[in-house]
Every structure is written in structure tokens, then in C-alpha cells.
Amino acid sequence: MRARTGARTASLPWSSGRSGSGGSSRRARLVDVTLALLTAVAVGAGPAAMGAPLSWNGTFTLGAALGGLLLARRRHPLLVLVLSAAVLIGWQSAGLFEGGWIWPLTAALFTAALSHPGRSAGVGALVLTYGLTPQGLGGPETLARGGVELLWLALVLAAANAWRQYGRWRAEHRARLVQLEQTRLAEQRLRISREVHDVVAHTLAVVGVHLNVAVEALDDSPEEARAALRTAIAARTQAMSELKAFVGELREAPHQGLESVVDLVEQARTAGLEVRYDLEGDSGAVPAAQALTAYRVVQEAVVNTLRHSEAGRLTIRVRVRSRELEVTVTDDGRAVTFSEGHGLTGMRERVTVLGGTLRIGVGANADAEAGTDAGFVVKAVLPLTTA
């Protein structure tokens, strides 16, 4: 119940703001006092402006009563309307006020209609029906007066409905902004996790391969062991540089692109793989987002080959066409079953965000152009758009 009440308060622009700042509460009280004074003056002096005599016991007393009731309009809007209507009917019945039946209730009627539109309309209709009961008035005069009163009632109710709809729109707009911000933060966290995984996983795979080589060659071939250690240190240094650049420039465009695939090729070769790299087309015409995604696809495929496939040969094929970029990475490792972990999932998310397709499979059937000795195939197709 508490949450529901809060939702209603948030959707009504006239709410008192008791849960907000002290400045909002002061402004609300100032508005209430202003409305009370305007109602008191209008009801007290309004008939005099139309030629009716001033009456301290009639119009001014009624104005003070209706204005005083408005001070409680925020806490009890419908009750204030009902009491105001009863007071007005009492004054009218006693012959102390003849200035109208609806307009003296304008502020109370508008406030109540914001939260209780149906009941407020009912109260207004009852007051109008009672007030228009012929009391010595002619038919045409009664109809003319009733038309004006009914028009004013409709205008007040319509204004309250419009203001209520505006309040709901504003609350929904704020909710959408909050949801968009939450979505943006979630996407940003996902992007960060993908970037960190791509850099760390690749580096650990390369370093692990060379550490194994160094351990195996330490006794028989110290020079080979030292070369492997130097390569591992270089991979670690490059990873630290990438992480530092990424952390320092999260909102800037990444530096990796198709030109960086050459570095991945060299790392795979130094790890002992026979690598063939084919690049067709103008790599400089590829937008930054597609180029980074292609780089990450190749990087993750190389990591998986080093980790799992026991492959000896790796083929990387990049084709830049007029409307799409095609990236295919194939190894000749043994065919094993696999499940998508964080790396492959992140790869698929990157490709999907750009409107591309990703195919991951084992064996030559995964790609008709992979060759009969294909072990694990990764193929990504990215549309070349600037979006």
C-alpha cells in the first residue's frame, strides 16, 4: 500500500512534496495560502463587481470559509470539496449568496478531480442540480444560467484531467530515464567485462604456452627456454599496456583494429603454430566498431586454439567487401565437443550488437571453405555501416 500511494503522489504535480526538500514544502504552502486568499477575495468581492451589494455576513464570510477549507486540500481533497459544497449550499439556501454554484468551488473541485475525478464530477453535478431547481426563475433564465454553470464545471474537470495526465506522463518519463540509465550502465559493465576478458584471457593463454615451452626446454635447450620467457614477458607487457589504455580511455574509441591482427598472427607463430593470414580488400575502409569486433573475434579464436585444440596449423581469412566484412578463423585441431563460455558468449554479443552473424562449429561442415582438415571454425559476418 505504501508503494502504491507513493506512485500516485509522484504522478500528481500538485502533491505536497513532504518527502522532498524543505523548499518544495514551503512552495506548496505558499501556493495553498495564495489559493485560499484568491478564493476568499473572489467569493467575497466577486458579486459586488457584478452589481450585488456587499455583505459581511454573506459573501465575505462565505469567502473566508471556502478559503480556509482550501488549506487542507492536499491531505483531504475530496472531503474539502464536499464540505465546501455543503457550505455553499447552506449560504445559497439562506439567501446570503447568489453569485453562482460552481465557480466558488473551482479550486476545491480542481484539486479533488486530480485524485478522484468521478466522485468530484458527481459532487459538482449534485450541487449544480440543486442550485438550478427553479425558485421563481423563468425557464429561459434557468437554462441560460445552467448552461454557463455546466460549461464551467466541464472546463474545470477537463483542466484537472489534462493536468493529471501531464503528471502521469512526467512520472513515466522519469521512469523511462531511470530505466535507460540502468540499461546504459548494464551495457557499459558488459562491455568492460568483455574487454577485460579478451585481453586477460589472450595474454594468459600466450604466456601459458611459452611457460610450458620454457619448462620443457630449460634443461636441454636454455636458449629456447630464454626465448620463450622473453615472449611471455612481451605478451604480459602488451597486455598491461592494453589494460592501462582501456581503463584510462573507457569512453574513447579503442585502438585495436584490423591492422592489429598481424600482432595476433605473430604471437600465434611464436607459440609454435603454423599460421596463414589472408587479407582481401581495403582494411582502411572498415569502420572502427567493425574493425575492433573483427580483431576481438580473431583474438578469441586464437586463444581457443592455443588452449584447447592441440592444433598445428591456423588459418585467418579477412575479406572486406563493399557491404560486409567477413572474418574466418580455422584450425586443424582434433574435433572435440565444446560449450560456449564467457569468451565465445562475448564474441557473439559483439557481433550481434553490430547486426552481424556468427557461426561456430567443429569440422569442415562448419564452413564450406574451411577445407577437409578443419578442426574448429569461427566465422563472423559484419555489415559495413557507420551506425
Higher-confidence residue of 137 and 301: namely: 301
List alpha helices for the chain, DSSP H: 2-11, 22-49, 61-70, 77-93, 106-115, 117-131, 139-217, 222-248, 261-270, 288-304, 342-353
Q: Is the pLDDT of residue 320 over 70?
A: yes
Using DSSP's 3-state secondary structure scheme, residue 338 falls into coil
- Sorted by where each starts, the structural domains of the chain and their CATH numbers stand as 2-131 (no CATH), 256-387 (3.30.565.10)
User: DSSP labels for 263-283?
Assistant: HHHHHHHHTT-EEEEEEES-G
Give pLDDT, residue 278: 93
Q: What is the pLDDT of residue 113?
A: 92
Higher pLDDT: 348 or 183? It is 348
Contacts of 307 (CB under 8 A, 6+ apart): 205
What percent of the chain has a predicted confidence (pLDDT) above 70?
72
Could you read off the pLDDT of 184-200 as tens digits, one per residue? 667 767 767 766 766 66
Determine the Cα–Cα distance for residues 81 and 113; give it in Å rounded to an integer.
9
Quote the pLDDT of residue 251.
46
CA distance 201 to 189: 18
Give the integer Cα–Cα distance in Å for 107 and 113. 10
The confidence score (pLDDT) of residue 3 equals: 40
The two beta strands, 324-331 and 357-362, are unpaired
- Asked whether the predicted pLDDT for residue 67 surpasses 80, the reply is yes
Stretch 149-154: mean pLDDT: 89
SS3 sequence, 104-138? HHHHHHHHHHHHCHHHHHHHHHHHHHHHCCCCCCC
pLDDT for position 317:
95
Least confident of 7-21, 154-168, 188-202: 7-21
For residue 8, pLDDT over 80 is answered with no
User: Of residues 218 and 56, which shows the higher confidence score?
Assistant: 218
3-state secondary structure of 358: strand
pLDDT of residue 9: 39
Question: What digits encode the pLDDT tens for the residues 227-286?
Answer: 888 887 877 777 777 666 666 555 444 556 788 888 888 888 887 788 999 999 888 888
Task: Summarize pLDDT for 286-305 with one digit per residue, the tens.
Answer: 888 888 889 888 988 888 88
Q: Is the pLDDT of residue 13 over 50?
A: no
From CA 119, how far away is CA 80, in angstroms rounded?
13
What is the arithmetic mean of pLDDT over 301-323?
84
Model's pTM, two decimal places?
A: 0.45
Give residue 336's pLDDT band: very low, low, confident or very high (50, 70, 90): low
Degrees to nearest 5, angle at CA 235 with 230 and 240 = 125
- CA-closest candidate to residue 94, choices 59, 124, 122: 59
Per-residue pLDDT tens digits for 84-129: 999 988 888 877 777 788 888 989 999 999 999 999 999 988 988 8
Q: What pLDDT does 333 receive?
A: 77
For residue 113, the tally of other CB atoms under 10 A from its CB is: 26
Task: Identify which of 286, 274, 340, 284 has the alpha carbon closest to the alpha carbon of residue 311.
Answer: 274
What share of the chain has pLDDT > 90, as a percent?
18
Which amino acid is residue 232, in one-letter code? A
**SS3 of 26-45:** HHHHHHHHHHHHHHHHHHHH
Contacts of 22 (CB under 8 A, 6+ apart): none
Beta-carbon contacts of 13 under 8 Å, excluding residues fewer than 6 positions away, are: 163, 166, 167, 170
Q: What is the DSSP letter of 364?
A: G
pLDDT of residue 18: 42
Phi, psi dihedral angles at 280 (to 5 degrees): -120, 130
3-class SS of residue 377: strand
Query: How much is the mean pLDDT over the chain?
Result: 77
**Minimum mean pLDDT range among 14-28, 155-169, 305-319:** 14-28
The answer on pLDDT for 340 being more than 80 is: no
Measured CA to CA, the distance from residue 98 to residue 88 in angstroms comes to 10
Q: Is the pLDDT of residue 135 over 70?
A: no
Q: What average pLDDT does this structure show over 312-316?
A: 90
Q: Looking at residues 40-53, what average pLDDT do you find?
A: 70
The span from the CA of 50 to the CA of 381, in Å, is: 80
307 or 343, higher pLDDT: 307
Q: Check pLDDT > 70 for residue 6.
A: no
CA distance 371 to 365: 9
